[in-house]
Amino acid sequence: MVSAKAPGPQGDFPSNYREFVRFFPDDEACSRYLAGLRWQAGFLCPACKHLAPRPLRESRERFACPACQRQTSVTAGTVFDKTRTPLTTWFEAAWHVTTAKNGLSAKTLERTLGVRYRVAWVMLQRLRVAMVRAERERLSGEVEIDETFLGGPKPGGKRGRGAIKSLVLIAVEIKRPKGFGRVRMRHVPDASTAHLLPFVSDVVLPGSSVLTDGWKGYNGVAKRGYAHHRTILSSSGDPAHVLMPGVHRIASLLKRWVLGTHQGSVTPDHLQSYLEEFTFRFNRRTSRNRGLVFRWLLEQAVVSGPVTEDDVTGGYDW
């Protein structure tokens, strides 16, 4: 499962770092590649609405409508909107984030690319916005849903600062006889019906089976068109992970990733964007060709609306 959209012709992405370097020697090569991804289905002029197979190339960054000559930039209205970071740096970041097994932190990216921490951090945040736009299809089949807490005092660490616990909703497709399909996650203020039901509706296709525990916050799931299977905690007091083994497993992978790759340095303001990156990675864990995932991330980055540095600074409004 790579994308709802069929991937482009094979061979138009690098499949290893050597090829990556050959593909993108300079900003012009990057800009041409983005133009190819952005206007694959043709160029619709925002000014005169003329539809052309492709825009005219004016300079490294600038393209123009063949009919009215109005100029446009390949990065305007994308996650690269108004960036001052060279495209070659962006491409390196996108390459590392998609090819490193567990991704990488802003700190590691700063060292790898030799850019300022702030630049690395902003690139990662903006790329995460492109990642979420991929996850539009709703889960189906058998879907386990539960809540988990993230954060809180680190083992052996001090309480107080950084000890805020965040509640995360997790939905995961359960495959029989074993295994998982895709996941979805959402950071919510509490586990009330007001947050649980919209999450179920947004991420699970009606008609699917929804598996939850007996928490009253899930009352109303059946009314929304799902086959609701509740496992009620027995008086013997089974531990929660026995009730929802799928969610329990995903939650422990998520916690390990946050503590490992990101050293636990995830604040509640930005938690959702980390959840999006985890989801993106998890849902593509079986995709053998990382180059294809790289191409696909760039494609998401240019086909959707603009994301600026200001948009991500205080925590992106998901």
Least Å distance between CB 68 and Zn ion? 3
Residue 50 vs 224, nearer CB to Zn ion: 50
Least Å distance between CB 51 and Zn ion? 10
Residue 68 vs 163, nearer CB to Zn ion: 68
Least Å distance between CB 44 and Zn ion? 9
Judging by beta carbons within 10 Å of its beta carbon (0-12, 13-18, 19+), is residue 68 exposed, middle or buried? exposed
- List, in sequence order, every beta strand (DSSP E) within 45-141: 51-52, 56-57, 62-64, 71-73
* Residue ranges binding Zn ion (CB under 5 A): 45, 47-48, 50, 65, 67-68
Token duo for residue 36: 């190819």
Residue 38 vs 184, nearer CB to Zn ion: 38
Strand order from edge to edge, sheet including 165-174:
180-188, 165-174, 142-151, 209-213, 227-231
Residue 21 vs 48, nearer CB to Zn ion: 48
Least Å distance between CB 30 and Zn ion? 25
Judging by beta carbons within 10 Å of its beta carbon (0-12, 13-18, 19+), is residue 158 exposed, middle or buried? exposed
Distance CA 293, CA 97 (A): 10
Least Å distance between CB 74 and Zn ion? 16
Q: Which residues neighbour 145 within 8 Å (Cβ) at sequence distance 6 or greater?
A: 169, 170, 171, 196, 199, 200, 204, 210, 211, 212, 218, 244, 247
User: Can you say whether the dihedral through the CA atoms of 111, 116, 118, 119 is positive or negative?
Assistant: negative
Least Å distance between CB 52 and Zn ion? 8
Least Å distance between CB 297 and Zn ion? 29
Residue 43 vs 294, nearer CB to Zn ion: 43
Distance CA 204, CA 210 (A): 8
**Are 131 and 283 a contacting pair, CB within 8 Å?**
no
Residue 37 vs 45, nearer CB to Zn ion: 45
Residue 49 vs 256, nearer CB to Zn ion: 49
**Are 154 and 249 a contacting pair, CB within 8 Å?**
no
